[in-house]
C-alpha cells in the first residue's frame, strides 16, 4: 500500500484558512504554476475537471515503470503486483464512500458510463412499458439521456421534479410524482450548473417509502463533500475520477450488493465470465461481472492515489474551506455592475454561475482567458436548466480547495474589465 | 475593406484590449442578418455561442460569386465573423477554397480562435463555407 500512498505537503505548524495551508497545498499541483497569456493562471474550471497533484502523477509513473502488467490473468510477479494494487484501490474507494463491501465498487469510465450501466442493466430488467423514472429539472445530460433512451426502448416515461428560480427542487411535487409505476429515482447530488445541494436524504427516504431505489449523480459532490453511502442509504452512487484530482477515463459506480447481484452484465468479454462454451456462458459474480475486458488499470490506481490525497487534506476541511470561498465569491461578484448569479439556493457548494448584463458568456470567457482566468462558458451539458432561465448559456466559476481569495479578487477585477470593454 | 487593411489596422493596436475592442466594433458594423434568417437551418451549432449564417450564390455571372450574411449572439464571435466576411464574402468558390484561413488568422494574430474545437460554432462556420464552395464548384458547368 505504501507505494501508492499519496502525500500531502501540509505542515501542521503553518496552517491557516480554516485548518488548511493553501499555499503549501498549491505546491502539490504543478499545473497551477504557469502563466497564461502572460498572467498567472487562475484555474476556476474545476467543475469541468480538476488539476492533478504530483502524488497522483508520481503514482502513475511509478506504476508504469515498475509494476505494470495485465491484472487477474498472469501468475507472474508483475501481474500479481498490478492485481494487488488494482484490488487495493477498490478498498480505497469502498472506504472513501463507506460502502459495506468492496464488491459494491465497480470501476467504469466515469459518471456517464456508470449511469448508462444502470440504465442498460437494472433499467432494462426492472422496467416495462408504462413504468416511470423520476429525475430532476437540474440534471446534467448524463442523467437525462440514458433514461430517455431507456424509456424509448421500453415505452416507459420520464418524470421531472420541477425547480423554482433559485434552483430549489419542489419537494411537494416530487412526492406527488412517486407512485406504484415509479421504478427508479435518479437525481443529482450537487448541481453542476447551479451549485444547488439537493436534499438527497429526504429524496431517498421518500422514495424508499415506496420501495423505489435511488441513484445519485455524485460527479460534483464527491470532490466536495464527505459521501457516506450507508448513511445516505442511496442504492447507486456514481462519480468521476477526473473531477476528484485523479486521471481521466476512470470513475466509479457504487451499487448495493443485493441490487448488483440481480443485474445482468453490461458488456460481454474477458474477465466477466465464470465459464464460456459456445452453448452457454455463465457470468462471474460482482464486481467482475461489470468489468469486462482489460480495465483502465493505471486509472484505477491513480484514482486511489487521488482519493488518498484528498482524504489526507480531509473532506470536511475541504468543504468548510470551499464554502468560505463560495461565500466570499458570492459577495464579491455583486460588485460587478449588472452581474446576476444564476442559482441562489440556500444550500449551495462550489459553483458560481452568473450572467453579466447582456454580455455573452463566451465573450466573458474569452476576455477572462486574456487575464489568465479559466472559467467555463456554455450550457454546461444541462440545456434544460438553461431553458428554465431562458438563457442560451451562463458563465461559471467552480472552486477547488487550491483556489484562494486572491484568485477570486483577480476574477472580479477581470470581470470589471470585461464590463468596461463591452460598455463602449 | 480587404485583408491587408485588416492586418494593418490590427497591427496598429498594441494591446489585446484594444484589439478586442476593434473586433467588437467590427462585429457591430456587420451588415445585419434579417430576423427571418435566424432559422434552425441557418444555425451553426456550438456549445458556447450560437452562430447563424445565410449564404447567397450570385450565379448571374460566371463563375458565380458567393455572399454571406451571418450573426452571433456573442460580440467577439460577431467580430470574428466580420473578419471572416472580409476574407470570404464576394469571392468565387475557387477563390474561397484557395484561401489558407489558418494563415490569414495567424497574420491577424487571431489564430487561437480558429482551432478545431467542434464545440465552437465559429469554427464550424468556416467548414460550412468551405463545404458550400465545394458544392458550388462541383455543380458548376465546367468551362
Query: Where do the domains of chain A lie?
Result: 22-40+314-423, 59-311
Is the pLDDT score of A6 beyond 80?
no
Q: What would the pLDDT profile of A67-76 be if each residue is shown by its tens digit?
A: 999 998 878 9
Q: What is the Cα–Cα distance from A406 to A396, expressed in whole angstroms? A: 18
Q: What would the pLDDT profile of B118-132 be if each residue is shown by its tens digit?
A: 556 677 888 889 998
Q: Exposed, middle or buried by CB within 10 Å (0-12, 13-18, 19+), for A375?
A: buried
Q: Closest approach of chain B CAs to the CA of A361, in angstroms?
A: 8
Q: Note the pLDDT of residue B108.
A: 86
Question: Which residue, among A355, A366, A379, would best test binding to B if mutated, counting the most B CBs under 10 Å from its CB?
Answer: A366
Q: Note the pLDDT of residue B118.
A: 52
Q: Note the pLDDT of residue B46.
A: 65
Q: Do the Cβ atoms of A421 and B16 come within 8 Å? A: no
A376, A47 contact by CB (below 8 A): yes
Q: What is the CA radius of gyration of chain A?
A: 22
Question: Which residue, among B14, B17, B49, would best test binding to A if mutated, counting the most A CBs under 10 Å from its CB?
Answer: B49
Record the pTM. 0.91
Q: What is the Cα–Cα distance from A186 to A213, expressed in whole angstroms? A: 9
Distances (CA, A) of A370 to A39, A373, A400, B63: 8, 7, 21, 42
B89, B96 contact by CB (below 8 A): no
Residue among A215, A224, A219 at smallest CA distance from A242:
A219
Is the pLDDT score of A346 beyond 70?
yes
Is the pLDDT score of B143 beyond 60?
no
Q: What is the dihedral of CA A26, A237, A169, A138, to 10 degrees?
A: 70
Q: What is the mean pLDDT of chain B?
A: 86
Q: What is the Cα–Cα distance from B124 to B128, expressed in whole angstroms? A: 6
A269, A319 contact by CB (below 8 A): no
Residue among B133, B134, B135 at smallest CA distance from B66:
B133
Q: Do the Cβ atoms of A359 and B75 come within 8 Å? A: yes
Nearest to A362 among B16, B17, B49 (CB): B49
Q: Do the Cβ atoms of A362 and B48 come within 8 Å? A: yes
Residues 6+ apart with CB under 8 A from A172: none
Nearest to A360 among B16, B47, B75 (CB): B75
Q: Note the pLDDT of residue B85.
A: 92
Mean pLDDT, to the nearest integer, of A252-275? 93
Contact B23/A at CB under 8 A: no
Mean pLDDT, to the nearest integer, of A209-230? 98
Full DSSP string of B12-23: H--SHHHHHHHH
Percent of chain B topping pLDDT 70: 90
Q: Do the Cβ atoms of A37 and B16 come within 8 Å? A: yes
Is the pLDDT score of A17 beyond 70?
no
Domain A22-40+314-423 architecture: Alpha-Beta Complex (3.90)
State the count of interchain CB pairs (< 8 A) between A and B: 48
Q: Note the pLDDT of residue B137.
A: 86
Distances (CA, A) of A245 to A45, A299, A310, B69: 13, 12, 8, 45
Mean pLDDT, to the nearest integer, of A171-186? 98
Query: For chain A, how long is the longest CA-to-CA vector?
Result: 75
- The angle at the Cα of B88, spanning B84 to B93, to the nearest 5 degrees, equals 150
Q: Note the pLDDT of residue A424.
A: 59
> Which residue has better confidence, A15 or A140?
A140
User: Of the given ranges (A116-130, A290-304, B59-73, B122-136), which has the lowest mean pLDDT?
Assistant: B122-136
Strands A42-43 and A132-136 turn out to be unpaired
Q: Do the Cβ atoms of B48 and A421 come within 8 Å? A: no
Residue B71, preceding peptide bond in cis (omega within 30° of 0): no
Rounded to two decimals, the ipTM of the complex is 0.81
Contact B9/A at CB under 8 A: no
| Chain A residue at shortest CA distance from B75 | A363
Q: Note the pLDDT of residue A330.
A: 98
| Chain A residue at shortest CA distance from B78 | A363
Q: Do the Cβ atoms of B49 and A360 come within 8 Å? A: yes
Domain A59-311 architecture: 3-Layer(aba) Sandwich (3.40)
Q: Note the pLDDT of residue A124.
A: 96
A364, A417 contact by CB (below 8 A): no
Distances (CA, A) of A356 to A220, A363, A372, A423, B48: 24, 11, 19, 11, 15
| Chain A residue at shortest CA distance from B16 | A370
Is the pLDDT score of A256 beyond 90?
yes
Reported as a pLDDT band with limits 50, 70 and 90, residue A48 is: very high
Q: Note the pLDDT of residue B96.
A: 95
Q: Note the pLDDT of residue B121.
A: 67
Q: Note the pLDDT of residue B1.
A: 81
Distances (CA, A) of B61 to A9, A86, B85: 72, 69, 20
Q: What would the pLDDT profile of A238-250 be if each residue is shown by its tens digit?
A: 999 999 999 999 9
Q: What is the Cα–Cα distance from A242 to A166, expressed in whole angstroms? A: 29
Reported as a pLDDT band with limits 50, 70 and 90, residue A13 is: very low
A424, B22 contact by CB (below 8 A): no
Q: Which residue has the cell 499555499?
A: A23
Residues 6+ apart with CB under 8 A from A209: none
Reported as a pLDDT band with limits 50, 70 and 90, residue B115 is: low
Q: Exposed, middle or buried by CB within 10 Å (0-12, 13-18, 19+), for A370?
A: buried
Distances (CA, A) of A371 to A36, A37, A38, A325: 8, 7, 8, 20
Q: Note the pLDDT of residue A406.
A: 98
Q: Which residue has the cell 469486462?
A: A292
Q: Which residue has the cell 422496467?
A: A127
Reported as a pLDDT band with limits 50, 70 and 90, residue A300 is: very high
Q: What would the pLDDT profile of B57-90 be if each residue is shown by its tens digit?
A: 898 988 999 999 999 988 988 999 999 999 999 9
With beta carbons under 8 A apart, name residues in chain B contacting A392: 49-50, 73
Full DSSP string of B77-100: HHHHHHHHHHHHTTEEHHHHHH--
Mean pLDDT, to the nearest integer, of A168-187? 98
Q: Note the pLDDT of residue A14.
A: 43
Percent of chain A topping pLDDT 70: 96
Mean pLDDT, to the nearest integer, of B30-56? 86
With beta carbons under 8 A apart, name residues in chain B contacting A362: 48-49, 74, 76-77
Full DSSP string of A193-230: TT-BB--HHHHHHHHHHTT--EEEE-TTTTTTS---HH
3-state SS of A326-350 is HHHHHHHHCCCCCEEEECCCCCECC
Q: Do the Cβ atoms of A360 and B24 come within 8 Å? A: no
Amino acid at each position: 500500500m505504501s507505494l501508492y500512498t499519496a502525500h500531502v505537503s501540509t505542515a501542521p505548524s503553518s496552517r491557516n484558512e480554516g485548518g488548511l495551508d493553501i499555499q503549501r497545498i498549491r505546491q502539490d499541483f504543478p499545473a497551477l504554476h504557469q502563466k497564461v497569456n502572460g498572467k498567472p493562471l487562475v484555474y476556476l474550471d474545476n467543475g469541468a475537471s480538476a488539476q492533478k497533484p504530483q502524488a497522483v502523477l508520481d503514482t502513475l509513473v511509478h506504476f508504469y515503470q515498475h509494476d505494470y502488467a495485465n491484472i487477474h490473468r498472469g501468475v507472474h510477479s508483475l501481474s500479481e503486483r498490478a492485481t494487488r494494487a488494482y484490488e487495493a484501490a477498490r478498498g480505497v474507494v469502498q472506504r472513501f464512500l463507506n460502502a459495506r463491501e468492496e464488491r459494491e465498487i465497480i470501476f467504469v469510465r466515469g459518471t456517464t458510463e456508470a449511469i448508462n450501466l444502470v440504465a442498460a442493466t437494472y433499467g432494462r430488467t426492472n422496467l416495462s412499458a408504462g413504468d416511470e423514472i423520476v429525475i430532476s429539472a437540474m440534471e446534467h445530460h448524463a442523467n437525462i439521456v440514458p433514461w430517455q433512451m431507456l424509456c424509448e426502448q421500453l415505452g416507459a416515461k420520464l418524470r421531472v421534479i420541477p425547480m423554482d428560480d433559485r434552483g430549489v427542487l419542489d419537494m411537494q411535487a416530487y412526492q406527488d410524482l412517486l407512485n406504484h409505476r415509479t421504478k427508479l429515482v435518479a437525481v443529482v447530488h450537487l448541481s453542476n450548473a447551479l451549485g444547488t445541494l439537493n436534499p438527497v436524504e429526504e429524496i431517498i427516504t421518500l422514495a424508499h417509502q415506496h420501495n423505489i431505489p435511488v441513484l445519485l449523480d455524485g460527479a460534483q459532490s464527491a470532490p466536495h463533500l464527505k459521501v457516506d453511502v450507508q448513511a445516505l442509504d442511496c442504492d447507486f452512487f456514481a462519480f468521476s475520477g477526473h473531477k476528484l484530482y485523479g486521471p481521466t477515463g476512470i470513475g466509479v459506480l457504487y451499487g448495493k450488493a443485493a441490487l448488483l447481484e440481480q443485474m445482468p452484465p453490461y458488456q460481454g468479454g474477458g474477465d466477466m465470465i465464470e465459464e464460456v462454451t459456445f452453448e452457454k456462458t455463465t457470468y462471474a459474480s460482482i464486481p467482475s461481472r461489470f468489468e469486462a475486458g482489460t480495465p483502465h488499470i493505471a486509472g484505477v490506481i491513480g484514482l486511489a492515489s487521488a482519493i488518498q490525497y484528498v482524504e489526507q487534506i480531509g473532506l470536511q476541511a475541504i468543504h468548510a474551506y470551499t464554502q468560505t470561498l463560495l461565500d466570499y465569491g458570492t459577495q464579491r461578484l455583486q460588485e460587478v455592475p449588472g452581474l446576476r448569479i444564476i442559482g441562489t439556493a440556500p444550500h449551495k457548494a462550489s459553483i458560481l454561475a452568473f450572467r453579466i448584463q447582456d454580455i455573452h458568456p463566451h465573450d466573458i470567457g474569452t476576455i477572462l482567458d486574456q487575464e489568465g482566468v479559466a472559467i467555463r462558458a456554455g450550457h454546461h451539458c444541462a440545456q434544460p436548466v438553461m431553458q428554465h432561465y431562458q438563457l442560451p448559456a451562463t458563465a461559471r466559476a467552480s472552486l477547488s480547495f487550491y483556489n484562494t481569495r486572491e484568485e477570486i479578487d483577480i476574477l472580479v477585477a477581470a470581470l470589471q474589465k470585461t464590463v468596461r470593454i463591452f460598455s463602449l | 475593406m480587404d485583408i491587408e487593411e485588416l492586418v494593418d489596422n490590427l497591427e496598429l493596436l498594441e494591446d489585446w484590449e484594444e484589439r478586442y475592442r476593434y473586433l467588437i466594433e467590427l462585429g457591430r458594423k456587420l451588415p445585419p442578418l434579417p430576423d427571418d434568417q435566424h432559422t434552425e437551418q441557418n444555425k451553426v451549432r456550438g456549445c458556447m455561442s450560437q452562430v447563424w449564417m445565410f449564404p447567397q450564390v450570385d450565379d448571374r455571372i460566371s463563375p458565380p460569386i458567393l455572399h454571406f450574411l451571418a450573426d452571433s449572439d456573442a460580440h467577439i464571435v460577431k467580430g470574428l465573423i466580420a473578419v471572416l466576411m472580409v476574407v470570404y464574402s464576394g469571392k468565387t468558390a475557387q477563390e474561397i477554397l484557395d484561401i489558407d484561413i489558418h494563415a490569414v488568422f495567424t497574420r491577424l494574430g487571431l489564430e487561437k480562435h480558429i482551432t478545431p474545437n467542434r464545440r465552437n460554432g465559429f469554427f464550424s462556420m468556416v467548414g460550412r463555407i468551405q463545404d458550400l464552395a465545394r458544392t458550388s464548384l462541383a455543380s458548376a458547368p465546367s468551362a
